[in-house]
Amino acid sequence: MADTYYFIKDLINDLERGRIRIPSFQRGFVWQPNRVAYFMDSIYKGFPFGSVLLWRTRNPLRTERNLGPYRLLENDPEYPIDYVLDGQQRITSIFGIFQTSLTAEEGEDTDWTHLFFELNTEASVRFQYLEDFTNYDSKKYFPLKYVFDSPKYRQVTRNLDESLAQQIDDLVERFTKARIPLERFESEERKYVATVFERINRQGVELDTFQLLSVWNWSDDFDLQEKFKELAEELEPFGFKEVGSDLLLKCCSAVVMNSADPEDFMNLPGSAVREKFDEIRIGIFRAIDFLKDELNVFSLKLLPMENLLTVLASFFASSQKQPHPIPEEQYKVIKKWFWRACFSQRYARGGAKSTYIDLVEVKKLKAGEPHKLGDFDVLLDGDFFIKKAFRRSSVATETFILILAQGKPLNFIQGTNISLQEVLSQGNRKEFHHIFPKAYLESLGSKYQDEQINLSGKLLLTC
């Protein structure tokens, strides 16, 4: 990866020629006008504003995004393409403010592109937007559109006194000499590019591995994003509308490749997913039926770890539209594995390696071969819940809730069965109460600390 820079004019030229492009997995342009103004002020004053990260490739992506309101021209096929991975907001701001060659797409907002530099002012930020950018005092404001438009620039300064002209000359010189820090790497290796995306994700940049895979590896007659959207809509009535694209992608990878490691997604063959998509879909729905019917898991919010669904989808996947019933012995093994995985918090921190091991063993179980599914260490004693604080985000608490649900709780007043689907699908803290009233425990003074009062073992599920 080489570090270099762009002059603004060169950056605009490469964008106009279509050599720099925006991949569709990037979000759109979201900066507000005031942020654009402050960004221009940072360039003008020489403040640091971050580098731009470009990925160079000779293989264009199947789908791309406009640069803000502008549709970029096609790139010369003899030249490689630089896709913007980080810095899209800055690049779009620079292009929109200074370019004069491209017309925005119909219906797109371009008011933010008409930014002015205020002359003869002591204001800390001299860049501002005017209510009417077509009618302004040329002796008070200078349009940034003219900075790299020599004829317009000369025409404006010709009619100004020397002091005003000098301010504009200084402005133009600063933007002409400004350098945009640039990092560029070149690779056609998908796993390497995916790793770069993952690192950017850790810095808070919204990049989606699933969207990347969709635009990179799928044919025009099979839109993976559309398939996942349809599947999510089907899952909504069953209480699993929260199943997102990343989890569905893990399920696909588990069925096709026996792996749920994000780095392996780049090698996930599109043809295999297309061929096995019905099998994957059946696996997901049967897994959810198992969770609801056998374990009272009526919502993804109640599943202690997402990768539990990944392994279950692999186990229940079938090429038959009407699969044979699961043998009772296999059901017992799966249920035992489920609870051992929950108590050991097996996938609590991602658990790609553990998930891979379990996927291999699930495949053996499914084929009726000797297996070791569930044969892993579980440290469990009688004080397990007494020592655990009640936090809805913890694996231990989710497991505690599911155990309570297995007891088929009754309504205190009527003695009838509680509709767990209705209660658990809502799954909020209001459904849980202290066995001893919290106010009473607090009234005992220093005998009980707050963390003791909120231990899981001192709460129960109510309706």
Tell me the pLDDT tens digit for each residue of 285-332.
Answer: 999 999 988 888 887 778 888 889 999 999 999 988 888 889 999 999
Partner residues linked to 84 by β-bridges: 54
Quick count: other Cβ atoms within 10 Å of Cβ 137?
A: 8
pLDDT of residue 213 exceeding 50, the answer is yes
pLDDT of residue 1: 47
DSSP-assigned beta bridge partners for residue 21 = 83
SS (H, E, C) the chain: CEEEEEEHHHHHHHHHCCCEEEECCCCCCCCCHHHHHHHHHHHHHCCCCCCEEEEEECCCCCCEECECCECCCCCCCCCCEEEEEECHHHHHHHHHHHCCCCCCCCCCCCHHHCCEEECCCCCCCCEECCCCCCCCCCCCEEEHHHCCCHHHHHHHHHCCCHHHHHHHHHHHHHHHHCEEEEEEEECCCHHHHHHHHHHHHHCCCCCCHHHHHHHHHCCCCCCHHHHHHHHHHHHHHHCCCCCCHHHHHHHHHHHHHCCCCHHHHHHCCHHHHHHHHHHHHHHHHHHHHHHHHHHCCCCHHHCCCCHHHHHHHHHHCCCCCCCCCCCHHHHHHHHHHHHHHHHHCCCCCCCHHHHHHHHHHHHHHHCCCCCCCCCCCCCCCCCCCCCCECCCCCHHHHHHHHHHHHCCCECCCCCCECCHHHHHHHCCHHHEEECCCHHHHHHCHHHCCHHHHCEHHHEEECC
- What's the rounded mean pLDDT across residues 95-123? 93
Task: Tell me which of 387 and 13 has the higher pLDDT.
Answer: 13
Handedness of CA 28, 31, 37, 43 (dihedral sign): negative
Question: Facing residues of 20 across strands?
Answer: 82
State how far the Cα of 114 lies from the Cα of 127, in Å rounded to an integer.
10
Residue 434: band (very low, low, confident or very high) from pLDDT cuts 50, 70, 90: very low
Contacts of 301 (CB under 8 A, 6+ apart): 242, 427
Q: For the chain, give the percent of residues with pLDDT over 70.
A: 76
Residue 173 has pLDDT above 80, yes or no: yes
Q: Which of the four pLDDT bands, split at 50, 70 and 90, describes residue 71? A: very high
pLDDT digits (tens, 9 = 90+) for 348-407: 766 778 999 999 999 999 999 999 999 998 887 777 766 666 666 678 878 887 887 787
- For position 226, what pLDDT does the model report? 73
The whole-number pLDDT of residue 206 equals 44
| pLDDT over 70 at 202, yes or no | no
Average pLDDT over residues 148-168: 90
As a whole number of angstroms, the longest Cα–Cα distance in the chain is: 93
Query: Quick check: 425 and 239 in contact, CB under 8 A?
Result: yes
Rounded CA-CA distance 104/230 in Å is: 33
Count CB neighbours of 282 within 10 A. Answer: 21
Angle at 342 between CA 337 and CA 343, to 5 degrees: 100
pLDDT at site 303 = 86
| Predicted model pTM | 0.55
Residue 23 region by backbone torsions, left for phi larger than 0, else alpha for psi between -120 and 50, else beta: beta
Q: Residue 192: which residues within 8 A CB-CB, separation 6 or more?
A: none
Q: What is the mean pLDDT of residues 161-175?
A: 94
Structure confidence at residue 350 (pLDDT): 64
Q: Who wins on pLDDT, 224 or 125?
A: 125
Separation between Cα atoms, residue 131 and residue 129, nearest integer Å: 7
Rounded to the nearest integer, the mean pLDDT of the chain is 81
What pLDDT score was predicted for residue 223?
Answer: 67
Confidence check: pLDDT of 433 > 50: no
Q: Is the pLDDT of residue 26 over 80?
A: no
Q: Residue 165: pLDDT band by 50, 70, 90 thresholds?
A: very high
